[in-house]
Structure 1
Amino acid sequence: MSHDFDPTVLREYDIRGIVGETLGPDDARAIGRGFATLIGRAGGSKVAVGYDGRTSSPILEHALVEGLTASGCDVVQIGMGPTPMLYYAEASAEDVDGGIQITGSHNPANYNGFKMVFQGRPFFGEDIARLGEMAAAGDWDDGVGSVEDRAVMDAYIDRLLTGLDEVDEQALANLKVGWDAGNGAAGPALEALAARMPGEHHLLYTDVDGEFPNHHPDPTVEENLADLRALVAEKNLDFGVAFDGDGDRIGAIDGEGRVIWGDQLLMIYAEDLLARAPGATIIADVKASRALFDHVAEHGGKPMMWKTGHSLIKSKMKETSSPLAGEMSGHVFFADTYYGYDDALYAGVRLIAAAARLGRSVTELRGAMPAMINTPEMRFQVDESRKFAAIREVEERLANSDSDVDGTDGVRVSTPDGWWLLRASNTQDVLVARAESDSEEGLARLMAQIDEQLALSGLARGPQAGH
């Protein structure tokens, strides 16, 4: 017995494909067999499995569990829920050695995939490649595993609520918050959470629907926040929070409807945390605003810039004992009084807590941030064989200049006008560019530098590529 995966589905941070085209039950079974074999060889025996609200998820879950048990692994089925609930099931249970969530994240409805955690650490990169090699060779152990159902939702909600433990009840009682689950897997958990929180909570689209009838569940795209913005305005709410399809990424708007981007949320969380943990290292990805790194330093923290990718950030947090990290994409990781994984529901709770502890509304906190002018994340198609080579060429050219270059992940160049970034995506055949300045003229000069470097490598900013 062996299995060959479609070459497009085994990606850097997870496994993802189009159901019925590049991904199906046979793939799920092979993932289960490989993962169970690796867990067994590492001395483990039990894996938690959860799934999101996509129509294809139950079929893939069934095949995955077959694969896990056929290679001798015992399975704990936690049912449908957000990805962080699966992470919680793995992190909080002493008898569980790994976890797999079946989710297409924020991809269109016909996609699905798998996010994995292995003995408390992210399972990505070489780990995922290894599953492909094992499948091709049929290198799987045989065994007979058991299956049990375990309800974790109530315990998970209890754990989320501990984010409000050290907060003045009165400060919370008057809060009015809007929430948009986008028909994603976080809906039922959000309903249970909101029912137990002080203050007034208005919820949108908590019914799980894998076709996403109201809007696409990606809170980093501004048009997907339109319904939340209307709700906040109509009900005169303090702020609004939105989730992606599987509940591991947060989006937010303030009381005036302004978007609070990932790095701006991190500014709020960092200010709150550094008051209690002075000198802490706070990590953000290379796409984050200079304003964030400055803000962390001003409040006595150690800002650290790191590579984009939730698995890479989680690994760096462990290495540096960082209590807080985040990405522009809305992944936020708390490891001060939480487990260090990305949980948008918990991030929502912590936003409420931060505003209450800082004694300022989310709207005030957002309004006090410097007015930086930045481009959105620009993504354009570049042939797979050229994307990393082009970045190397840019690096080599800039090494011989007096430019201030950070090479953590691609090329980030700081100038008196601000900064610009060029990096290759790890998951698609695209280059990503971003620039930030405090003036429109400065931004134009930075964009000219990006275009100049691309031209020198025979490339140009073409039509925008999707995620």
Structure 2
Amino acid sequence: MNAKNSENIFREYDIRGVVGDGIDEERIFAIGAAYGEKAKALGAKTVSVGRDCRLSSEEFAAALTSGITGRGVNVTDIGLVSTPMLYFSVFNLTPHGGVIVTASHNPPEYNGLKLCMGKQAMFGNEIKSLARPPEGKSKLVRGKITKTDIAENYADFLCGGVKVESGIGFAYDCGNGAGGIAAPMVFEKLGLKADGLFTEPDGNFPNHHPDPSIEENLADLIKKVRSEKTLLGMAFDGDADRIGVVDENGTVVRGDMLALIFALDTARSKAGAKIIGDVKCSKLLFELSEKAGAKTIMWKTGHSVMKRKLAEEKADFGGEMSGHLFFGGERFGGYDDALYAGLRLLEIVSKTGSEVSELLADVPELFSTPEIRLDCPDDIKFTVVENAKSAIVEKFPEAKIIDIDGARVEFEDGWGLVRASNTQPALVLRFEAKSEKRLGEIREGLETIIAGAVKI
């Protein structure tokens, strides 16, 4: 196994790599032992372990469980689940923590881990510390393993937390990922006319890549919505913690506009609501939420850091451009659950009587790009961003620079963003402006600086 790749699997938000080239059962066992040792030191007695449908996930889950129990910590094995189902388990069964074997939306040859210590998702140095296995063998009695099926309880929990008009018709696409474990059950329990695509979990992902943030992966869903004339369509990523939505016309609703729908609903439901958006989100998310009476916070991109910020701020809602949506407050636990987000959208449609396009009808038109990714090696990408940031300050002294995560450069009539991806060897760019002409100008100016920064 490639030693360098073995170290590169420890990412900012999770652990992820190509099976057999950086990550294997032996590595997963060692990570499980390190996690178990840390959990034990914090007083944990029992943690949850789940797995997605990838071809290596069952073996990886067994290795992970062996590593954890070998440090004297009990494991509640919740079996084949989505990532939000793991969070549900952590919040309701094993508050000391939990781990799921998943590589989210990555191609089939990948696998990895998402981890919680207590009810908080691990990130940054907390994850990187697991690269060092504990010294020696644990002298404690090996932890016990208990198998538990949580699907029914999870479905009941979701159904009891929303008010959706029965008989609503819509389409949904699980992409052969973990969303298919619970989505059909939930929709049936609520009496909805849900037309499902690719609901059978299959780690080969035979129909399309399970990433709803890429429009080509929504082609089947768009076709279904248009041919069946359904109310809307929703799609889940591989581990069902991100959602993509198309409206009644089959038009894709970008992640930040979907977040805006929820932000405005939250602001209207609670005076002084607190809303968080990541640095990739449209300026409209912040401006219109504040106009509706909410307090807004712009924060770093990443599901783990967003969940932590939501908890620290006691915020009511958080949203990312990528489709991670976080519902806090009294109704939910502050974590990202694509199925729950879909139900909340159906709830808004039910109570307003509006179609999805109508929910955004009064939103001013801005011109924006999707998320743009430029290949950039892991070992230089952060340096490139820092070099670009210095050049941006010099060239655009009139601009406001928000540097909590890369550089978001805000002008009177638009903005541009450059940041280093925390999950890929790439730079992430996005641009937005009041006119197409200005959008092109901002993009050209920043891309020229970035190209120069790569050569420095």
Band the TM-score falls in, shorter-chain normalisation: over 0.9
Residue in structure 2 matched with residue 317 of structure 1 by the alignment: 310
Q: Secondary structure at the match of 1:412?
A: strand
Query: Is 1:198 matched with 2:186?
Result: no
> Partners in 1 of 2:247 and 2:156 — Cα distance?
26
Deviation readout 1:252-303 (Å, 9 max, x if unpaired): 0000011111111111111211122121111111000111112211211112
Query: Is 1:413 matched with 2:409?
Result: yes
Conserved 8 A contact 1:238-1:363: no
> Partners in 2 of 1:109 and 1:273 — Cα distance?
37
Displacement of 1:13 after TM fit?
Answer: 0.6
AA aligned opposite 2:447: D
Deviation readout 1:360-381 (Å, 9 max, x if unpaired): 2213114443332211211112
Percent sequence identity is: 39
Moved more, 370-379 or 243-252: 370-379
> Which of residues 327, 331, 338 is equivalent to 1:334?
327
Conserved 8 A contact 2:259-2:285: yes
Q: Secondary structure at the match of 2:227?
A: helix
> Which of residues 361, 375, 381 is equivalent to 2:375?
381
Displacement of 1:79 after TM fit?
Answer: 0.7
| Closer, same or farther: CA 134–351 of 1 in aligned 2, 3 Å | same
Mapping of residues 365-444 of structure 1, within 5 Å: 365-400=359-394, 401-444=397-440
Deviation readout 1:23-58 (Å, 9 max, x if unpaired): 111011111111111111111111101100111110
AA aligned opposite 2:339: L
Query: Is 1:41 matched with 2:37?
Result: no
Displacement of 1:436 after TM fit?
Answer: 0.9
| Closer, same or farther: CA 307–141 of 1 in aligned 2, 3 Å | farther
> Partners in 2 of 1:444 and 1:35 — Cα distance?
48
Displacement of 1:356 after TM fit?
Answer: 2.1
Residue in structure 1 matched with residue 355 of structure 2 by the alignment: 361
Displacement of 1:247 after TM fit?
Answer: 0.5
Deviation readout 1:287-330 (Å, 9 max, x if unpaired): 00111112211211112110001111111111111010011111
AA aligned opposite 2:427: L
In structure 1, runs of 5+ residues without a counterpart are 461-467
TM-score (norm 1): 0.92
AA aligned opposite 2:40: G
> Which of residues 336, 339, 345 is equivalent to 1:345?
339
Residue in structure 2 matched with residue 134 of structure 1 by the alignment: 133
> Which of residues 269, 272, 278 is equivalent to 1:279?
272
Mapping of residues 99-178 of structure 1, within 5 Å: 99-134=98-133, 142-165=140-163, 172-178=165-171
> Partners in 2 of 1:152 and 1:263 — Cα distance?
31
Conserved 8 A contact 2:95-2:119: no
Moved more, 256-265 or 426-435: 426-435
> Partners in 2 of 1:18 and 1:450 — Cα distance?
33
AA aligned opposite 1:282: I
Q: Secondary structure at the match of 2:285?
A: helix
TM-score (norm 2): 0.95
Deviation readout 1:362-418 (Å, 9 max, x if unpaired): 131144433322112111122334322222223333445222221121111122331
Backbone CA RMSD of aligned residues? 1.9
Residue in structure 1 matched with residue 286 of structure 2 by the alignment: 293
Conserved 8 A contact 1:32-1:66: yes
Deviation readout 1:328-353 (Å, 9 max, x if unpaired): 11110101211111100100110011
AA aligned opposite 1:100: V
Residue in structure 2 matched with residue 9 of structure 1 by the alignment: 9
> Partners in 2 of 1:458 and 1:54 — Cα distance?
36
Conserved 8 A contact 2:31-2:67: yes
| Closer, same or farther: CA 455–5 of 1 in aligned 2, 3 Å | closer
Residue in structure 2 matched with residue 216 of structure 1 by the alignment: 209
> Partners in 2 of 1:343 and 1:141 — Cα distance?
38
Count of residue pairs brought into register by the alignment: 451
Moved more, 324-333 or 434-443: 434-443
Query: Is 1:308 matched with 2:301?
Result: yes
